[in-house]
Chains A and B, each alone.
Chain A
Amino acid sequence: SPGLPMVINTWGGPFTAATDAAYLALLESETSALDAVEIGCSTCEANQCDGSVGYGGSPDENCETTLDAMIMDGTTMKSGAVAALRRIKDAISVARAVLEHTTHTLLAGDFATDFAIANGFVAQNLTTEASAASCAQWKAGGCQPNYRINVTPDPAQSCGPYAPTSLNSSSSSAAAAYQSRGSPEGHD
């Protein structure tokens, strides 16, 4: 252990700006551990880090970027989180608002967006020229790879819209076997 205060996080490279921001904040006596986590993760949301955090990354099949975040207090074990948050950039700060202004743990989708706006956050488009272009290219290439299985048309060849194919009981678990995705889009 290097001693306290201390910050530790996934990944290096562009993520170390988050490590530094959180650590330097902790050197200020008025900064709490919760503040430091919010500052660190917000740094990545603003900088997009490696593209897997924040606006303009990982567009879905409709080319929309949605955000997921959680924050947890190690003393109270209370946690606040947002899932599939739409049109709000500051995901970790909205998660903290869930922690501090509700007794809930997780809000999702457009309802999380409504909660964020009611808590003073500004709605804005999370799509960038780069994410729109990469999504258009993906569609032009037949939407490969994707996360669809047991549907028609064949998801290994074609975009949707898809319709479910009937499954007999033995095929469903075999067909649902997890296929590792080598492409960077295959992970969170």
Chain B
Amino acid sequence: TISMIALHSSGVMAAGTSTNGAGRKVPGRVGDGPITGSGSYVDGDVGGCGATGDGDIMMRFLPCYQAVENLRLGMSPQSAAEDAVRRMLRKYPDVQSGIVVVDNEGAHGGAGSGWTFTYAYRGGGMGETVVVSVPPI
């Protein structure tokens, strides 16, 4: 799954997700990808979020909605991501998840569980994309 957030130079934001879901799924199964607030979420007033992982579990917690609302409550992107992952871990200690969060000024953070999650970003005058590795909670 790719979940992406874009920040235009004007400050306007957008987010999106695209995935082919879980392999060997029961036909008709849909995971977190297309669910607004789970696969991705954005409010230009505060920031945006993108997620990946065990979609059957994650879509029950709307982790990206939670992360963006955490930003609105004053958390840093890093803390906002960690809080959203911890809420899932409390009920599903084995869940595989990855959350990347960015505020509307481009400050970013990520959190994950069950594997080593990574995210990529490129902004400002950067000549190439940088990949950040996030140790699992």
A interface residues (Cβ-Cβ under 8 A, vs B): 1-13, 15-16, 18-20, 22-23, 26, 31-34, 36-38, 40-42, 44-45, 49, 52-55, 57-62, 64-75, 77, 79, 81-84, 91-92, 95, 105-106, 108-109, 138, 143, 145-148, 178-181, 183-188
Say whether B16 contacts A37, CB under 8 Å. Answer: yes
Residues from chain A with Cβ under 8 Å of B129 in the complex: 16, 19-20, 23
Scan B4-23; emit 1 where CB is below 8 A from any A CB, else 0.
11111101111111111111
Count A/B pairs, Cβ under 8 Å: 319
B71 within 8 A of A: no
A/B interface sample: 30 pairs, CB < 8 A: A3-B125, A4-B123, A5-B8, A7-B7, A8-B108, A10-B119, A13-B118, A19-B121, A32-B12, A32-B14, A37-B5, A40-B2, A40-B6, A57-B20, A58-B20, A58-B23, A60-B21, A60-B27, A61-B25, A61-B26, A68-B20, A69-B16, A71-B14, A72-B41, A75-B12, A84-B28, A148-B26, A187-B22, A188-B19, A188-B21
CA distance A107 to B13 in the complex (A): 23
Q: A58-B25, A180-B95 are in contact. Are A188 and B16 (CB under 8 A)?
A: no
Q: A23-B129, A41-B16, A67-B19 are in contact. Are A4 and B4 (CB under 8 A)?
A: no
Say whether A5 contacts B123, CB under 8 Å. Answer: yes
Say whether A36 contacts B6, CB under 8 Å. Answer: yes
Say whether B23 contacts A40, CB under 8 Å. Answer: no
CA distance A179 to B26 in the complex (A): 16
Q: A57-B23, A146-B24, A188-B22 are in contact. Are A7 and B17 (CB under 8 A)?
A: no
CA distance A18 to B17 in the complex (A): 12
B interface residues (Cβ-Cβ under 8 A, vs A): 1-9, 11-36, 39-44, 48, 50-58, 92, 94-96, 98, 100, 102-108, 114, 117-126, 128-129, 131-133
Say whether B18 contacts A6, CB under 8 Å. Answer: no
Cross-chain contact of B30 among A68, A74, A91, A183 (Cβ < 8 A): A68
Say whether B122 contacts A6, CB under 8 Å. Answer: yes
Q: A18-B2, A72-B42, A74-B42 are in contact. Are A6 and B17 (CB under 8 A)?
A: no
Q: A4-B7, A9-B2, A37-B15 are in contact. Are A23 and B123 (CB under 8 A)?
A: yes
